[in-house]
Structures are given as structure tokens and as C-alpha cells.
Amino acid sequence: IKEIGTAARARIESLLGVRVYLDLRVKARPGWREDPRFLSELEQMEAPWTPPADGGEED
């Protein structure tokens, strides 16, 4: 979690041009490994959104 937070904070600061405080929290869900619907939702989150190379807005 620390590695993820450090990398995310650096990226956000670079994007915004200011220092930021990033508070990460983890919430455990009982039985998540046996829940096909929840696992499917996790699979959909695997590919994070990345901004276009030109920095512009997507249409």
C-alpha cells in the first residue's frame, strides 16, 4: 500500500504542480474471494485510465 500511495502521490503532484496529501484506506470484504460478481468488478478495474498523450480531453 505504501508503494502504491507514494507512486500515486508523486504522479498527482506532477499533474497538479502542487504538493498533495494522499490518504489511502483499505477495506476488507469478508468472502470476497468466493464472490464471482465482486471478482468480476475487480477484473474490470485492472486497466487504469490514462490521459491522452497530448494531454487534451477525450471526446
Task: Read off the pLDDT of residues 3-59 as tens digits, 9 standing for 90 and up.
Answer: 989 999 999 999 999 999 999 988 888 998 899 998 888 887 766 666 667 655 554
Domain that holds residue 25: 2-44
CB burial of 18-49 (b: ≥16 within 10 Å; e: otherwise) equals: eeeeeeeeeeeeeeeeeeeeeeeeeeeeeeee
41 secondary structure, DSSP code: H
User: Is 30 a member of any domain?
Assistant: yes
What is d(CA 15, CA 31) in angstroms, rounded to the nearest whole number? 37
Tell me the pTM. Answer: 0.52
Give how many domains the chain has, as a whole number. Answer: 1
User: Is 50 a member of any domain?
Assistant: no
Q: What is the pLDDT of residue 52?
A: 66
User: Is 49 a member of any domain?
Assistant: no
User: Is 26 a member of any domain?
Assistant: yes
What is d(CA 6, CA 12) in angstroms, rounded to the nearest whole number? 10
Q: What is the pLDDT of residue 56?
A: 55
